[in-house]
Structures are given as C-alpha cells and as structure tokens.
Amino acid sequence: MPPGPWKSCFWVGGLLLWLSVGSSGDAPPTPQPNCADFQSANLFEGTDLKVQFLLFVPSNPSCGQLVEGSSDLQNSGFNATLGTKLIIHGFRVLGTKPSWIDKFIRTLLLATNANVIAVDWIYGSTGVYFSAVKNVIKLSLEISLFLNKLLVLGVSESSIHIIGVSLGAHVGGMVGQLFGGQLGQITGLDPAGPEYTRASVEERLDAGDALFVEAIHTDTDSYSYLICDHMRAVHLYISALENSCPLMAFPCASYKAFLAGRCLDCFNPFLLSCPRIGLVEQGGVKIEPLPKEVKVYLLTTSSAPYCMHHSLVEFHLKELRNKDTNIEVTFLSSNVTSSSKITIPKQQRYGKGIIAHATPQCQINQVKFKFQSSNRVWKKDRTTIIGKFCTALLPVNDREKMVCLPEPVNLQASVTVSRDLNLACV
Ligand SMILES: *[C@@H]1O[C@H](CO)[C@@H](O)[C@H](O)[C@H]1NC(C)=O
Ligand SMILES: *[C@@H]1O[C@H](CO)[C@@H](O)[C@H](O)[C@H]1NC(C)=O
C-alpha cells in the first residue's frame, strides 16, 4: 500500500453530543414519488439565493420532506425531543446536488436517532465562487429564522448540531454567531479557504460559534505539498459515523512536530482523552472546562475506512557520532508496509519518529532498518552503527508500554537489515 496522504485536524473547545453505533447498508434507496429532493440550478440562473429545508427522519431516512413553516414541521415526524442535525453544503460549481449527501444523511440517521435537515441552497451556491460567498450572510439569516421556528416547537439550542461542508462550514459559523454561540455543536468539514483565510471571526467559523466547535481539515491552502482531496473530510466523517475504526488525533503544535514524534500522548491538555472524529460527545474529550482551542493531528490511509495505527519508533545509538544519523525504519505485516525516517542529531544518543500502519501493531511481524549513507554514492561507505530499537503504540501515556528488540541492531551503511517483531495485541 502506498503511504497514505495525511490529514490534519483543528479542533476547538466548547461542549456537546452523543454517539451510537451504525453500519451503513449500501443499498441505494429507491426514489419515492412524494419525497422532496435538492434543486438543480445552472450556471446562469443559479446565482440568486433560493433556500429549501429538507427534513429526514429515522423512520423514513431516504425520503426528504420540504419543511418551511411550523405547520410543515408539526406534520412531518419532526421530533422536538430528539437532537437536530443540520447539513449545509458549500459552493456547487455546476449547480448540482452534492454527490455525497444522500449517503451522508443515511449514515447519520443510522448512527443516531435525530432529526436531520439538509439545507439546499443550490440556487445561490453556484456561478462563480464569489457570488456564492456574497450569499453567505443572507443564507445565514434564513437558516437562523428557520432554527427559531424549531426553538418555538420546544427544541433546545444545545441539541442543535450544524455540520457544514467547505463554504457551508462558515455559514454554520455565522448562524452559530447569530445564536450567541449557544448552539450545541458545529462541525466544519474542510472549511473553505478562499476568501476566508484572512477573514475576521465574525465572518468565519471560530471557536466561539457554538458550545463545541470542531473543524476537520484535509486540504491546505499552501500547496507546498499535495495533500488529500478537499472532499476527503466528508468521506472521513462518513467513515467515522459508520464507526468502523477509531480516528483518534493527537495534540501537537505542527504537523512536522507530530511526524517527528514530538507529540506522543494525550496528557496535555486532554488529560488522557484525545479527541476522535465522529459523534462522540465532545469528540470523546472528557474534561471540563474544555481547552479553548487545540490543534490535533492524525495520519490516514488513502481509502476508507482511513484509520491508521500510529507507532513511536526510537533508535538509541551505542556510541555518539559526529554527524547526523539517518535510519529508515519499515514495518511489515502480511500485506502492508510502512516506513519512517529517524534522524539522530550529531552528538546525541537517540532519535525518533512516527510510523502509521494500516493494520494493528500486533499484526506487524517484521521490522527493517536501513542506515542511510551520507557518503558519495561511488565510494562504498563501510561505516557501521550499533543501537537499540524500541517502539510503542500511540498514545504513549506510559513509557512502560515501550517494547524493545532484545538484541542490539548492527547496521552497515546502505544495507537493509530485518528483524522479527512480536508485539502483543492490545
Ligand atoms: C420522540 O422521541 C422520543 C425519544 O426517542 C420518543 O420517546 C417519543 O415517542 C418520540 N415522539 C414522537 C411523537 O414520535
Ligand atoms: C490485509 O490483510 C488483511 C487480512 O488478510 C485484510 O483484512 C486487510 O484488508 C488487508 N489490508 C490491505 C490494506 O490490503
């Protein structure tokens, strides 16, 4: 398997919701005649805002109902005692219904007993990006008027969860701000960058917009390295809703520091509960009050269900060296390999890194090492190093979890050395 594209997450503090398990049946729903669907616009007529609210209830998850006024809501199966999840899509370049939205709604309703409302602003979201951006304030006002109707029916502000995709995330932020940050939760799935990277907190999704705000980024604005696709955040979230495997992320100051193995545990500031993607209450962070704003990172595979198992890898030199030492470490299980480079700075005894592996650590049966020669290629480098190799599964909340190879490893420059690795299943 090729090394998976990475993703980073940015979560911010506040409070919120609940989770239950669901598995998605992938049978496509049969279209039902009396169900409402998204509009389709075209490039030339689609720039004026025309909003529809489509309600989906657990008893009939593939049939949208158009709800506008309180009377529609009362006759629709909307249940004010359940939580309400509002999905807001982003810019639609071709004025079409988002391809992911049916599956998203279905999976959400399987995962939790809630009212799901899809906000269709296909009209208004198309044309050129900037005309969509111009509609954001008006759209946010229309959504807040709609939410006020739900409050009249007895819905509590804290039971409302907005899930906004791309530009829809900033719409969610603006709606949240109109409610003074008292809505339960906002989830931003790859909040859009263009026009927003330098926006003020009034204009963009920020930590104050709800009791609990999370943003999941799978793309960046700096194209210095190519990362996964913008829409990956949506598929990652669907995968988390299906609850196939835990997508846990680790607090760290930067992605680089995370890869260098400098962020290994969940102590600070989460007191042992690193956040997870999905519907777990407060992302699974069990502390009160929540920290104000924390960046967390994780690596993913390139296809669903995306989860990886992160391991710390360490190499301890027996003797100090006068130059940096680079060692490539590779984990192998029956059908997967994954690698990382450990750099031991000169005059230091040890270096570390992170390997993300698609199968659990106990299925890894071999580890390979290659001490990278620093010499010119045409001159054979006979330098050897001796050292100790250790590994531990993240989070390393306890150094006692470290497992070391029983014998020292002897490495000659550019020669690959293999060792068996027998790690217990956790
Ligand atoms: C609303 O949901 C609650 C909790 O699941 C349930 O007890 C109640 O019967 C539902 N109300 C209606 C009208 O379906
Ligand atoms: C590797 O093999 C295991 C079991 O044989 C399988 O469940 C898993 O999907 C495979 N992984 C990949 C990435 O092919």
DSSP 207-254: GGGSSEEEEEE---S-TTS--S-TTHHHHHHHHHHTTSS--B-EE-S-
Ligand 2 atom nearest residue 1's Cα: 13
CB atoms within 10 A of CB 251: 21
Ligand nearest to the CA of 74: 1
Strands 309-317 and 293-299: unpaired
Q: Mean per-residue pLDDT for 47-68?
A: 93
Q: How far is CA 35 from CA 32, 78, 127, 255, in A?
A: 6, 15, 27, 45
Q: Is 141 helix (H, G, I), strand (E, B) or coil?
A: helix
Tell how far the Cα of 264 is from the centroid of ligand 2, in angstroms.
26
Tell how far the Cα of 109 is from the centroid of ligand 1, in angstroms.
15
Residue 198's pLDDT band (cuts 50, 70, 90): low
CB atoms within 10 A of CB 195: 17
d(CA 135, CA 90): 11
In percent, how much of the chain has pLDDT > 70? 86
Ligand 2 pocket check: which of 334, 359, 363, 364 to mutate, most ligand atoms within 8 Å of Cβ? 359
Ligand nearest to the CA of 360: 2
Ligand 1 binding pocket, CB closer than 6 Å: 79, 81-82, 113
Which residues touch 303 (CB under 8 Å, ≥6 apart)? none
- Asked if residue 389 has pLDDT above 60, the reply is yes
Ligand 2 atom nearest residue 301's Cα: 13
Q: What is the pLDDT of residue 243?
A: 85
Q: What is the pLDDT of residue 133?
A: 87
- Asked if residue 143 has pLDDT above 50, the reply is yes
Q: What is the pLDDT of residue 230?
A: 67
Select from 395, 397, 404, 396 the least CA-distant residue to 422: 404
Q: Mean per-residue pLDDT for 154-176?
A: 96
- Asked if residue 221 has pLDDT above 60, the reply is no
Question: Which residue's alpha carbon is at the smallest distance from atom 3 of ligand 2?
Answer: 335
Q: What is the pLDDT of residue 200?
A: 64
Q: At what angle do helices 167-178 and 136-152 cross, to 10 degrees?
A: 50
| Mean pLDDT value across the chain | 86
Q: What is the pLDDT of residue 261?
A: 95
The residues facing 340 across adjacent strands are: 329
Tell how far the Cα of 100 is from the centroid of ligand 2, in angstroms.
26
Mark residue 214 as left, alpha or beta (left: phi above 0; alpha: psi -120 to 50; beta: remaining). Answer: beta
Tell how far the Cα of 78 is from the centroid of ligand 1, in angstroms.
9
In percent, how much of the chain has pLDDT > 90? 65
Ligand 1 pocket check: which of 82, 109, 112, 113 to mutate, most ligand atoms within 8 Å of Cβ? 82
Which segment of 18-32, 53-67, 179-193, 378-392 scores lowest on mean pLDDT?
Answer: 18-32
Q: For residues 320 and 132, which has the higher predicted lDDT (pLDDT)? A: 320
Ligand 1 atom nearest residue 82's Cα: 2
Ligand nearest to the CA of 114: 1
Tell how far the Cα of 100 is from the centroid of ligand 1, in angstroms.
29
- The DSSP 8-state label assigned to residue 318 in this structure reads S
- Sign of the C-alpha dihedral computed for residues 281, 284, 288 and 293 taken in this order: negative
Tell how far the Cα of 115 is from the centroid of ligand 1, in angstroms.
11
Ligand 1 atom nearest residue 113's Cα: 5
Residue 223's pLDDT band (cuts 50, 70, 90): low
d(CA 167, CA 321): 52
Ligand 1 atom nearest residue 79's Cα: 1
Q: Mean per-residue pLDDT for 147-168?
A: 96
In 3-state terms, the chain is what percent helix, strand and coil (to 5)?
A: 20, 30, 50
Ligand 2 binding pocket, CB closer than 6 Å: 1, 334-336, 358
What are the φ and ψ backbone dihedral angles of 331, each rounded to 5 degrees? Answer: -100, 140
d(CA 19, CA 128): 38
Q: What is the pLDDT of residue 197?
A: 58
- Asked if residue 194 has pLDDT above 70, the reply is no
Ligand nearest to the CA of 335: 2
Ligand 2 atom nearest residue 358's Cα: 13
- Catalytic site positions: 166, 190, 230
Strands 185-189 and 212-217: parallel
Ligand 1 pocket check: which of 59, 79, 112 to mutate, most ligand atoms within 8 Å of Cβ? 79
Contact 119, 144 (CB under 8 A): no
Ligand 2 pocket check: which of 335, 357, 363 to mutate, most ligand atoms within 8 Å of Cβ? 335
Per-residue pLDDT tens digits for 411-423: 999 999 999 998 8
Q: What is the pLDDT of residue 277?
A: 95
Contact 119, 89 (CB under 8 A): yes
Tell how far the Cα of 82 is from the centroid of ligand 1, in angstroms.
7
